[in-house]
Amino acid sequence: MKCDICGNSPVLIHIQQITGKEEINIHICEKCAKEKGLNPGRKGFPLNIGSLIKNFEEIKRAVEEKDNRRVCPRCGQTFEEFKKSGSAGCEECYDAFRKYIISFLRKNAGWRGYDGKFPRKANILRYRVKNRDSLKSRLARAVERERYEEAAFLRDRLRFVEKQIERDGN
Amino acid sequence: MATEGFKAASEGWFSLEGPEDDVVVSSSITLSRNVEGVPFSGRMGSRESDSLLESVYGAVKDLTGSGYSYYDINSLKIAERQILAERGYLKPVIAFERPQTILIKEDEEAAAVFNGAEHLSIKSIKSGLAFRDAYNCCNALDNFFDERLNFAFSPEIGYLTSDLTTAGTGMTGSVMLFLPGARRLGKIEEMLTKIIRMGFQVRGFFEDSKSKDESFSLGDGYIINNQFSSGKSEEQFIECLEEAANNAVRFERDCRDFLIRRERLKIEDEIFRAKGILQNNRTITAAEAIQHLSAFKLGKYYNLTGNDITYSTLNCLLLKIQKYHIKNSNRESGLLDEDAARAKYIRNILFPKDYFFKGFFNV
């Protein structure tokens, strides 16, 4: 995993903020942490909590700025433009901004996976089986790490895709 | 098969009867699709737009002789374009930046606009509450293009569209409801709030008739559509839309029945006044006509109109008294101004036997 601010160095500090239903995860490297004013704590404790609280807003802003500069490699639309207009420039935007799109659809439209019509040429069953296997391992990992909210969502998606496979397989 | 000069069909979905058409004017389904490998409308250059239309043309050619016509929208006359807009196939814009084309079946069972906000939007409108019918018409055309073009699709999200709200099934369903009873009883807000809570969007029927009072819409017409195209399958969306529309129909009929018991004199007065105006007017604006037609239609529900006019005729009138439709149907005689032509048109449709009341100048 690479740092969310500079994008180069390996991550040292993971920060998670939960406000109501919203969850923000930030991962930063040692160098960026120092630059943003995070100090090591006393008695060998890696982080001084006071400095985190003081500087958290700025860290969030830095991560967001970096996010906004992300660009779709095909059509050149930036993430900032995309968020503002809500319209994709090409099909690859859906890959480039996948995380945001999924969370947008999940929050607003109750997305758990696609269950509609598909083009004749799409091999949907193979995708679903692959998707089921990846969801299974992600679910196991989430449970192991005690991330129960994420696990609940993954479990819903897993059930959904299992039902689809069962329905289409017969 | 590009055809010159659009001829508006005089018969189409709007002249047919449909289920529950005392409350539901029409239902429509739109499917949005984009072609793989071509940038979406917002990021498209003129070369890409030309090559898109070329590949569309290659597919459309196969439809020759099956009752479809294909038009280049920019080469249509403004009046012809406005008629397509009034029928709900295009946005009422005077000029389009990029070339756009439209494919339309002679009986207007289904139509498709190319190179609009999405590469393809397939639309079908039906009289009354008939989502399944509309969806089947769209689906047939969608299958036809699926065989000839590759659509942008991801198995995780579904059909990929420029607008995030239509990503997924790409399907938008909308229904036009006529709710005079609920409005007169002051129940309209309660009802619309319920519908919005089910995840639908609500807006007034005639968009340019903005009123200060938000719950009032000209002619008591409201349009309901699904806000997102993700999270459900086409089948589930249709079920939800049908449920919302059916609830509205029941609620509205209850309101009408209650209203006539409580305020018979007032309602009868309003309906007979509306009838009087529609029967005798010599010049009338679209907005006024819509208002009186709406009251007249309520009168039909109470069997007060005293003639054998059907709901579908009244629903059809709402479409055909719009500005460019009137201009079009009046082209031959060419004598009257718009409002006078509208007055004559309405009288001819609703009271064709009224020779006695023809005016001095026979207008």
Q: Which residue has the tokens 């160095």?
A: A9
Chain B residues whose beta carbon lies within 8 Å of the beta carbon of residue A92: none
Chain B residues whose beta carbon lies within 8 Å of the beta carbon of residue A94: 154, 157, 160, 167
Region of A28 on the Ramachandran plot (φ > 0 left; ψ -120 to 50 alpha; else beta): beta
How much of chain B is in helix, strand and coil states, percent to nearest 5?
A: 45, 15, 35
CA distance A114 to chain B (A): 5
Instruction: Give the single-character DSSP code of B356.
Output: G
Q: Check residue A120 and give its pLDDT.
A: 82
- State pLDDT tens for residues A64-104: 888 888 889 888 899 988 988 889 999 999 999 998 899 89
Phi, psi of B189 (to 5 degrees): -65, -40
Burial of B344-357, coded b for 16+ CB within 10 Å and e otherwise, reads: bbbbebbbeeeeee
Instruction: Give the single-character DSSP code of B129.
Output: S
- Cα B103–Cα B107–Cα B110 angle in degrees, nearest 5: 45
Region of B33 on the Ramachandran plot (φ > 0 left; ψ -120 to 50 alpha; else beta): beta
Q: Would you call B277 helix, strand, or coil by DSSP?
A: helix
CA distance B236 to chain A (A): 9
Instruction: Give the single-character DSSP code of B211.
Output: -
Nearest alpha carbon to residue B162 among B34, B31, B36, B56: B34
Chain B residues within 8 A (CB-CB) of chain A?
A: 34, 36-40, 42-43, 139, 142-143, 146-147, 150-165, 167-169, 171, 227-234, 236
Distance (Å, whole) CA B68 – CA B76: 17
Residues B228, A119: C-beta atoms closer than 8 Å: no
Distance (Å, whole) CA A142 – CA A157: 14
Stretch A147-158: mean pLDDT: 88
Stretch A140-146: mean pLDDT: 89
- State pLDDT tens for residues B143-191: 999 999 999 999 889 999 999 999 999 999 999 999 999 999 999 989 9
Nearest alpha carbon to residue B19 among B140, B116, B130: B130
Burial of A6-28, coded b for 16+ CB within 10 Å and e otherwise, reads: eeeeebbbebeeeeeeeeeebbb
Can you give the pTM of this predicted structure? 0.84
For A128, other C-beta atoms within 10 Å of its C-beta total 20
Chain A residues whose beta carbon lies within 8 Å of the beta carbon of residue B159: 116
Q: Check residue B142 and give its pLDDT.
A: 95
Residues A101, B154: C-beta atoms closer than 8 Å: no
Distance (Å, whole) CA B164 – CA B42: 13
Q: In degrees to the nearest 10, what's the CA dihedral of B132, B137, B143, B146?
A: -110
CA atoms within 13 A on the CB side of B341: 19
Distance (Å, whole) CA B8 – CA B328: 9
- Of all residues in chain B, the one with the smallest CA distance to A77 is B43
Q: Which positions of chain B have pLDDT values less than 70?
A: 1-5, 8-10, 93-96, 206-216, 332-336, 354-363
CA distance A100 to chain B (A): 11
